[in-house]
Amino acid sequence: MALPRTPGSSPVPAPGDLLAHPRPSLAIDVAVLTVVPEGPDGAPALAVLLLRRDAAPKAGAWGLPGSFVRERERLAGAVLRTLADKCGISGLAPRQLHVFDDPGRDDRGWVVSVAHVDVVPVERLEPALAARDDLALAPIAPRGTNGAGATSPVDVPGRQTSLPFDHDEIVALAVDDLRERYRAAPDPGGLVREPFTFLALRRTHDAVIGEPQQKDTFRRQMLPLLVEDGEIARGGVGRPARLYRRAADGPRVG
């Protein structure tokens, strides 16, 4: 077998020898989205998890968690490992969004990154957020309404006006993906603990989609995708609401 060559030596592969190909570094980035109970306007709102970079390029800047994929590791596994190792968070079910392949996107070399989105209830982020100062939840800017000439879909903390690399684009893709899924099904990201009332479900959808959903239309759309459970009584002030769970054919269980 031929010896492994340095990447970029010979563009012509020796047949049968995979290692002869120049190979890129493979990375993942992940936009962890959640709903915070108090957004900028007091109502629940979408937010994204940011991490202060300590590594080489753009050290000190806020960006999305990401890392290189290890040998024979699955992409989803790399995302979950990154969240666990770098953020102390147990993620759930990463979804692929897009591959960013611009050869000039990283000064360090040829890095191809697969962008992901994951959705996590805010309770699972709070311990890590409270314990560390290099983690932050940044609110999603409500569509083009962004301070000054910032082009980021995120209200980045501090003086920073945008996210490094393609992270602004990744957040935009992640938000679009999540909104599309929340228009079609009840809480596909598992943000609401089961069983839940229709009010809790609708408040979450309002926050994700960014605008209030019609009470009755929303009920009629989502009802066929839910199964009833029991009753809630204590706690609320008005008439007790029925409790529901996502129908079995629905997506992942939180």
Partner DNA sequence: GAAATAGTGTCTTTAAGACAATATCAG
Partner DNA sequence: CTGATATTGTCTTAAAGACACTATTTC
All residues at 6 or more sequence positions from 115 whose CB lies less than 8 Å from its CB, including other chains? 28, 29, 30, 31, 96, 97, 98, 99, 100, 166, 169, 170, 173, 174
Under the criterion CB under 7 A, does residue 184 sit at the interface with DNA? no
Under the criterion CB under 7 A, does residue 3 sit at the interface with DNA? no
Q: Which of 73, 172, 241, 250 binds DNA (CB under 7 A)?
A: 241
The number of residues in the chain equals: 254
Q: Indicate the residue among 69 and 140 with the shorter CB distance to a second copy.
A: 69
Alpha helices in 20-166 (DSSP H): 75-87, 126-131
Under the criterion CB under 7 A, does residue 236 sit at the interface with DNA? yes
Q: Indicate the residue among 3 and 148 with the shorter CB distance to a second copy.
A: 3
- Residue 232 CB, nearest distance to DNA (Å)? 8
Q: Which of 220, 247, 252, 253 binds DNA (CB under 7 A)?
A: 220
Dihedral of the alpha carbons of 3, 8, 10, 14, in degrees to the nearest 10: 50
What is the per-residue burial (b if ≥16 Cβ within 10 Å, else e) of 66-78? bbebeeeeeebeb
Q: Indicate the residue among 26 and 243 with the shorter CB distance to DNA.
A: 243
**Residues at the site binding a second copy, with contacts judged by CB under 8 A:** 4, 6-8, 11, 13, 15-16, 18-19, 21-26, 55-56, 68-75, 96, 98-99, 101-103, 108-112, 114
Q: Indicate the residue among 47 and 78 with the shorter CB distance to a second copy.
A: 78
Nearest residue to 165 via CA among 223, 215, 102: 102
The number of C-alpha atoms within 13 Å of 231 and in the hemisphere containing its C-beta is: 4
Under the criterion CB under 7 A, does residue 107 sit at the interface with DNA? no
What does 207 interact with, of a second copy, DNA, none (CB < 5 to 8 A by kind)? none
Radius of gyration of the chain (CA): 21
CA distances from 26 to 29, 68, 101, 215 (A): 10, 6, 10, 45
- Residue 254 CB, nearest distance to DNA (Å)? 20
Under the criterion CB under 7 A, does residue 234 sit at the interface with DNA? yes
Q: Which stretch binds DNA (CB under 7 A): 9-17, 39-47, 85-93, 214-222?
A: 214-222
Q: What is the DSSP letter of 154?
A: B
Binding residues vs DNA (CB under 7 A): 197-199, 214-217, 219-221, 233-234, 236-242
